[in-house]
Structure 1
């Protein structure tokens, strides 16, 4: 961690490259969203509540593992993977400013195992290789082609941790597009039923799908695994 800059200097820099979507602990009592939060309904400690739902499912020791954080934003989850000792975390996001923020955070915290990459799911670098697992949080409902997105991800890893908006319906397999309301949001969102979400995961090759959230959450979290063929 950088020792040369004062807390005031760090705070000014955090503000200058913000606003921040993720609350990241910079040390010395400094937190990114406490300094420069992005507008929106998210709580100040976002995405800590989401992390609490998945942290106990992941191994405490990730030594030797390669992880893809797809739709990494400011990098909260990548940082948590680094703290657990992952060999390499490739953090991919299509927003250049978010990648710049993550690049700065990795330098500030002295974390060399995180590789920020500016790309979207349809233009991933060819040299990424395979991963032990993929984290894809708060991304699927934003992409233009959700089934193609999942198909692309399935080629990169046999294990996917997926969080997205869904409608609780285990009987009907539907996918609804919600267009943005003027002045509220500029990004349309996909709302699959939970049955549709599972159907899509099965279609792209995952044959073991388990919900790891509480079964009531409107943003369920699934662990999807493709078992190796005998």
Structure 2
């Protein structure tokens, strides 16, 4: 009971938590989370898209927060899991939660997504969940992940707004609508890839800068050198590193039909 009391005191000391994690002893880190049992209920929707057995694999969790996904990958047998975040309180939460759950060997480091090259290695699976829309330079982040740390698979999620339809890319955009000086009509198509910029706050959070529609999310992933293997949940994609240079990979292999 003394251990449980100590654990509860540490959970309270590090509050507030954004990940509601069951630490045992009847202790949940965010039992009153405004989203419910988050992120567990969301993870249940796409967990089957990931390899069930990660034995011998390495995992990098970018923007790990309190370490929920890091621990889940360790549960699947990953040989090495590294979680990075730029918030020391989140990292302290992650270390506490992983140790309490018996995964103290999960590594946590204070590192920005823009500095992933400092890790000096590539990982079999990169988790990039709930980070893109908080970044000032989202496409740069994807480029850096592809160049420096993505060895095979990437689990990706971002907040999306607008159309949920797919879009077949136009190989060469005309400057005008043929026969007139009007701009091309496809830019006004709600399904066209769009990246909505949020100048002030979204849901009370000033770090929510971007809200792409589905087509924009998929276009950015492809342009950064990822193929989309699965789309198991509305905002979630399982991607694989595509051969570079990207143009030689063949657009027919990675571009979904519009509306698919």
- TM tier relative to shorter chain: 0.7 to 0.9
1:137 aligns with 2:133: no
Q: Any idea what SS the aligned residue of 1:6 has?
A: helix
2:153 is the alignment partner of 1:159: yes
Q: Is the 8 A contact 2:225 2:241 kept in 1?
A: yes
Question: Corresponding residue for 1:226?
Answer: 241
Matched, 1:101 2:101: no
Of 198, 205, 227, which residue of structure 2 is paired with 1:185? 205
User: Normalising by the residue count of structure 2, what TM-score does the alignment of the two structures yield?
Assistant: 0.76
Q: Does residue 23 of structure 2 align to residue 26 of structure 1?
A: yes
- Measured at CA, do residues 208 and 99 of structure 1 come closer, stay the same or move farther in structure 2, by a change above 3 Å? same
Tell me the distance in 2 between the aligned counterparts of 1:138 and 1:115: 20
| Aligned ranges 1:54-73 → 2 under 5 Å | 54-73=46-65
* 111 and 7 in structure 1: CA distance in 2 versus 1, 3 angstrom threshold: same
Q: Distance in 2 between matches of 1:162 and 1:187?
A: 19
| Cα 1:129/1:173, change in 2 over 3 Å | same
* CA shift for structure 1 position 10: 1.8
1:203 aligns with 2:223: yes
* Residues 102-133 of structure 1, C-alpha deviations (whole Å, 9 max, x = no match): 12223333314311011111123623400111
Q: What secondary structure does 1:202 align onto?
A: helix
Pick which of 9-18 and 135-144 moved more.
Answer: 9-18
Deviation of 1:181 after TM superposition, in Å, equals 3.7
Structure 2: gaps (5+ residues):
167-190, 250-260
Kindly tell me: are residues 48 and 93 of structure 1, through their superposed partners in 2, closer, same or farther at Cα, counting changes over 3 Å? same
Structure showing greater radius of gyration is 2
Q: Which residue of the partner structure matches residue 116 of structure 1? A: 108
Cα drift, residue 94 of structure 1: 1.1
The structure that is helix-richer by fraction is: 2
Q: Distance in 2 between matches of 1:191 and 1:169?
A: 15
Output the aligned Cα RMSD: 2.2
Q: Which moved more, 1:122-131 or 1:96-105?
A: 122-131
Whole-Å separation in 1 of the counterparts to 2:215 and 2:202: 30
Q: Distance in 2 between matches of 1:127 and 1:186?
A: 29
Where do 5+ consecutive residues of structure 1 fail to align? Answer: none
Count the aligned residue pairs: 217
Distance 2:134 2:109 in 1: 19
Q: Which range is displaced more, 89-98 or 102-111?
A: 102-111
**If the length of structure 1 is used for normalisation, what is the TM-score?**
0.86
